[in-house]
A and B are shown apart, each in its own frame.
Chain A
Amino acid sequence: MMGAIQGPPKKHPHAASRVYEGEAFIVLPQYHEYKILNAVGTRIWDLIDGVNTAGDIARIVAEEYDVTYEEALKDVSSFLADLEANGMLASAKPS
């Protein structure tokens, strides 16, 4: 896992996405790859807008999925690190 995301996470400008039946489908042309997120991952992806911090997202996830803020923050931070490692966030691998 990479280090904690600094500042509000932002989607990579080259990542194009749509949601089908509650699951996000994300095309990453720069890597010739695509990713599919489950329902929770899709909700977090939706909340990544360059303004919400990991803490903001965790607070919303905690409310909507009935988990503690601490648990949500841990999972959200881990998920954001995965997104970054896969080139889906703006601060990820150079294009």
Chain B
Amino acid sequence: MTARQAIAESVTVSRRPEYVPDLPFHAARHRSAPAHDGAVTLAVGGISVRLFGLEADRVETLRARYGIFSRAQAPSPDLEIKVSSSELPRFLEVQDRGEHYRVDTRWEADTLLACSYEWAGWMDAGRREGGLTLAQEALTSPRGFDRSLENFLRVVFSHLIVPRGGFLLHSAGLVRDGRAHMFFGPSGSGKTTVTTLTPEATILSDDLTMVVRDAGGSYRACSVPFRGLFAPEATSDATWPIAAFYRLIQDTEDRLERVQGARAVGELVGSLPFVTDRTEIAGLVMDTVAKAAATVPIFRLHFKKDRTFWQAIDPNVLGVDGFSAPAGIKA
């Protein structure tokens, strides 16, 4: 079971009507003075987001939670998000026991609106402004607060990185000999398995990793602070050159199969969170992913759940597209 499923299962199924805040709801909160003075900035993959209007103890909680990604200040954040509260107990309702953590998104002109069970938010990247309103269930439960902040920030960063040529990818990012190997696929495909089978690697994540495009057009990977409620904290915010992307397929043999063109784009697009939920930016997302697919090799990795899959990877990946085979890589 994934963390998202577990979260949804831990709350009560309800048939109450849902309240999905609209733009006027958010605009009214944005105009009012912030209720508190506290602020914290997160910097991930070269993007900085400042949250303000926070109580002092919330600031400490967030700094502790986001560790190396938190900053006391940033000179010019890419987005400033005002955090406010609502008297409503919650916004969306859990409609099916076992449903995946639900986030409804929609665009109104240049504004992205997003809403879930305990929070509702918006962002306008062009104006560098956004807002997050927390319902009572997020304010009265420390876990609810963490969960709400984290899920809204996932939406925010997944949308901010795309116009910069990168994307968030549901993937295990493993660094070996200075290069990031990105294993992706849906829940249950084996991301955590390949991570635990590679103890010598530097682990960027076993679930969600950021892909960034640098000034030279090369692709690099880095950790993100969004790790669910149970995974260990990231220890580095460094970026690493990406060796290859691998779509995980559990099989009875270890085998690499190169995919290109529409199929390569499709494999990656299928593992991007949030940004393909709406048509408005789907074209931009496809263009962004296609550029990465034209630069970094993409494979289907058939593997049999032991570490012998590295024997299929090493000779194939370390000999293509200019990658040299560093010494010492043996499974």
Contact = CB atoms under 8 A, between A and B. Distances in A.
Interface of A: 13-16, 18-25, 27, 29-30, 32, 34, 36
Given A23-B261, A27-B276, A32-B277, A18 B283 contact: yes
Interface stretch (B50-58, B62-70, B264-272): B264-272
A42 B54 CA distance: 52
Interface residues of B, number: 19
Where chain A touches its partner, the secondary structure class is strand
A16 B279 contact: yes
B104 interface: no
Contact of A27 (B260, B261, B269): B269
Contact of A29 (B262, B265, B276, B287): B276
Contacts of A20: 261-262, 264-265, 290
B263 interface: yes
28 contacts: A13-B279, A14-B279, A16-B283, A18-B286, A18-B287, A19-B262, A20-B261, A20-B262, A20-B290, A21-B260, A21-B261, A22-B261, A23-B263, A25-B262, A25-B266, A25-B286, A27-B286, A29-B277, A29-B278, A29-B282, A30-B279, A32-B277, A34-B266, A34-B269, A34-B270, A34-B276, A36-B262, A36-B263
B292 to A, nearest CB: 12
Contacts of A29: 276-279, 282
B275 to A, nearest CB: 10
A28 to B, nearest CB: 9
Contacts of A34: 266, 269-270, 276
A24 B262 contact: yes
Interface string B272-313: 000011110011011100100000000000000000000000
A36 B265 CA distance: 10
Nearest 10 Cβ contacts at the A-B interface: A21-B261, A16-B282, A23-B262, A25-B262, A20-B262, A20-B261, A27-B282, A14-B279, A36-B262, A18-B286
A13 B278 CA distance: 11
Nearest to A34: B266
A49 B258 CA distance: 34
A15 B276 CA distance: 11
